[in-house]
């Protein structure tokens, strides 16, 4: 007997209210109880938008066709549960216990049952922190796992996950896969979008490919790895020139109570490419904040070009990319976003326009020039934010998880552009990652932050 349909999309098309170009065209898709479906497609194709369409979160636009969910009748929570790419837009409560219980409180679950559900959900995802832990102290990957725990506690019959591989480290992926296998055995329907579907190949029953034109094609097997736009760059030789950054006996700010790194010492030489690798919650973003002067360490020193880091002093010499790119995008168009720094430095308007056109072409985002950066996909926002911080050719680039949300093709293109900047202009680059695959053939040296231990290349 065939399982019942948990999600049915019939001849669905959608266009935003301010455009006639459809995001989706005539999509037909059915997910049945106990099935896991994987949606693939290039960065910016609209995978996140389709997730929002299923959850009825898109603004009213031109729509044809129908999306219906059997989960309406089976779990009473509407079109199932969704975890979006950017966890910050879904977090409401101050502690991890409150956040995991948020949905349960809204459906009136008794407190005793609620405590059991919250504890079991957090344990299933390997979350071993006290329930009183503040959400604000979590890393991006930990926040993603927290949202997953909230969905697990709710007992949804349909679960939507937007690129879990972009936010979770290998251990997080392992816990997630174990949980998803269990959910499938409980007849939960699952739809995940993923640039790296091979990480979930033992779970997925059906693959779909979303083309940038808006059409969706059902695949007969897991899609093959697409060719990259250029060979991955080879790491440069170990540098021994002037020191751009020196870190001495550094410990995290006093308000950071989690047992992350301490007494960290290393140096970065001019022209190096240094990778900071560690799992979710290892303290990579905290380290980056201390390096550029946004956070004050409890002990130790950071010196950039011989001086303590100060955002005002480093302006025009250092480029910084946040792990959450939307936090540093604020102009109304991509063109204006890229022009912002140049205007602050007094560049003439004619020169700005010419330079911005060159940057847009270099990054392959000419088609986004007049788009609002706030309406782009998570991956596209990363590309635009990175283009914006390289527009003035900084001497030092500090990038926090720069490849999140990017497919293989874009990762290769961006790494190639950064390599060219490093090679041609001598820009020193330090970046963080929780995915080992992003370090291979990239770094001069790697600084590892794992299991509260430090492994730093001597320099």
Q: How far from 379 is each of 13, 143, 145, 162, 427, CA to CA, in Å? A: 23, 18, 19, 12, 23
Confidence band for 325, pLDDT divided at 50, 70 and 90: confident
Q: Does 14 score more than 90 pLDDT?
A: yes
Which is nearest to 339 in space by CA: 314, 358, 312? 358
User: What average pLDDT does this structure show over 313-338?
Assistant: 89
Which is higher by pLDDT, 101 or 434? 101
pLDDT confidence of residue 302? 95
- CB-based contacts of 388, cutoff 8 Å, min separation 6: 328, 329, 337, 338, 340, 341
pLDDT confidence of residue 237? 59
| Torsion 270-271-275-281 (CA) sign | positive
- The Cα–Cα gap between 434 and 431 comes to 11
- The Cα–Cα gap between 73 and 234 comes to 54
Place of tokens 């021994």: 240
pLDDT confidence of residue 157? 86
Q: How far from 315 is each of 168, 309, 383, 397, CA to CA, in Å? A: 32, 10, 21, 12
Q: Does 1 score more than 80 pLDDT?
A: no
Cβ neighbours of 4 (radius 10 Å): 14
Tokens of 434: 């929780």
How do residues 244-277 score in pLDDT, each as one tens digit?
Answer: 999 999 999 988 777 688 888 999 999 999 989 8
- The Cα–Cα gap between 83 and 160 comes to 6
Q: Does 300 score more than 90 pLDDT?
A: yes
Strand (E) or helix (H) holding 308 = none
pLDDT confidence of residue 73? 45
Length in residues, the chain: 459
Confidence band for 31, pLDDT divided at 50, 70 and 90: very high
How do residues 145-189 score in pLDDT, each as one tens digit?
Answer: 888 888 888 888 899 999 887 778 888 888 888 888 988 988 889
User: What average pLDDT does this structure show over 328-352?
Assistant: 82
Confidence band for 315, pLDDT divided at 50, 70 and 90: confident
Cβ neighbours of 435 (radius 10 Å): 20
Q: Does 76 score more than 60 pLDDT?
A: no
pLDDT confidence of residue 226? 56
- The Cα–Cα gap between 401 and 284 comes to 9
pLDDT confidence of residue 458? 45
Q: Does 72 score more than 50 pLDDT?
A: no
pTM of the model: 0.83
Confidence band for 240, pLDDT divided at 50, 70 and 90: low
Q: Does 221 score more than 60 pLDDT?
A: yes
Confidence band for 459, pLDDT divided at 50, 70 and 90: very low
pLDDT confidence of residue 78? 46
Q: Residues 266, 444: contact at Cβ < 8 Å?
A: no
pLDDT confidence of residue 289? 93
pLDDT confidence of residue 147? 87
- Quote the mean pLDDT of the chain: 84
- The Cα–Cα gap between 40 and 304 comes to 42
- The Cα–Cα gap between 297 and 251 comes to 6
Which is higher by pLDDT, 376 or 69? 376
Confidence band for 396, pLDDT divided at 50, 70 and 90: very high
- What letters, b where the CB count within 10 A reaches 16 and e where it falls short, cover 240-258? eeebbbbbeebbbeeebeb
Tokens of 41: 């497609």
Which stretch, 124-128, 228-232, 399-403, has highest mean pLDDT?
399-403
pLDDT confidence of residue 451? 52
């Amino acid at each position: 007997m065939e399982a019942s349909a948990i999600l049915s999309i019939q001849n669905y098309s959608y266009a935003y209210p301010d455009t006639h170009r459809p995001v989706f065209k005539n999509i037909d898709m059915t997910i049945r109880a106990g099935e896991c479906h994987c949606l693939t497609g290039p960065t910016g194709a609209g995978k996140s938008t389709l997730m929002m369409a299923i959850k009825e979160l898109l603004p009213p636009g031109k729509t044809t066709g129908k999306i219906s969910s059997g989960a309406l009748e089976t779990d009473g929570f509407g079109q199932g549960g969704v975890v979006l790419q950017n966890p910050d837009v879904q977090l409401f409560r101050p502690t991890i216990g409150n956040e995991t219980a948020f949905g349960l409180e809204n459906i009136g679950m008794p407190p005793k049952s609620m405590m059991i559900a919250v504890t079991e959900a957090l344990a299933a995802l390997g979350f071993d922190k006290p329930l009183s832990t503040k959400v604000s102290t979590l890393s991006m990957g930990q926040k993603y796992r927290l949202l997953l725990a909230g969905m697990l506690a709710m007992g949804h019959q349909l679960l939507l996950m937007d690129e879990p591989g972009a936010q979770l480290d290998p251990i997080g992926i392992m816990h997630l896969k174990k949980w998803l296998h269990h959910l499938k055995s409980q007849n939960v329907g699952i739809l995940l979008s993923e640039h790296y579907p091979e990480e979930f190949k033992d779970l997925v029953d059906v693959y779909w490919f979303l083309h940038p034109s808006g059409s969706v094609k059902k695949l007969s097997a897991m899609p093959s790895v697409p060719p990259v736009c250029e060979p991955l760059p080879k790491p440069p030789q170990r540098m021994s020139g002037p020191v751009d950054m020196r870190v001495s006996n550094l410990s995290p700010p006093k308000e950071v109570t989690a047992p992350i790194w301490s007494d960290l010492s290393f140096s970065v030489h001019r022209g190096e490419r240094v990778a900071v690798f560690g799992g979710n919650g290892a303290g990579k973003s905290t380290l980056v904040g201390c390096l550029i002067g946004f956070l004050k360490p409890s002990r130790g020193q950071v010196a950039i070009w011989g001086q303590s880091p100060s955002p005002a002093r480093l302006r025009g010499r250092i480029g910084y990319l946040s792990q959450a790119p939307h936090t540093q995008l604020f102009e109304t168009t991509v063109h204006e976003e890229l022009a912002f720094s140049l205007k602050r430095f007094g560049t003439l308007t004619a020169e700005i326009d010419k330079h911005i056109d060159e940057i847009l072409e270099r990054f392959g985002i000419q088609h986004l020039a007049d788009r609002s950066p706030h309406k782009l996909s998570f991956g596209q926002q990363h590309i635009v934010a990175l283009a914006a911080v390289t527009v003035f050719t900084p001497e030092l680039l500090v990038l926090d998880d720069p490849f999140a949300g990017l497919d293989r093709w874009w990762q290769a293109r961006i790494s190639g552009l950064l390599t060219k900047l490093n090679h041609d202009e001598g820009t020193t680059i330090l970046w963080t990652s929780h995915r080992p695959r992003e370090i291979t053939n990239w770094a001069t040296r790697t600084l590892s932050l794992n299991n509260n231990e430090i492994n730093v290349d001597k320099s």
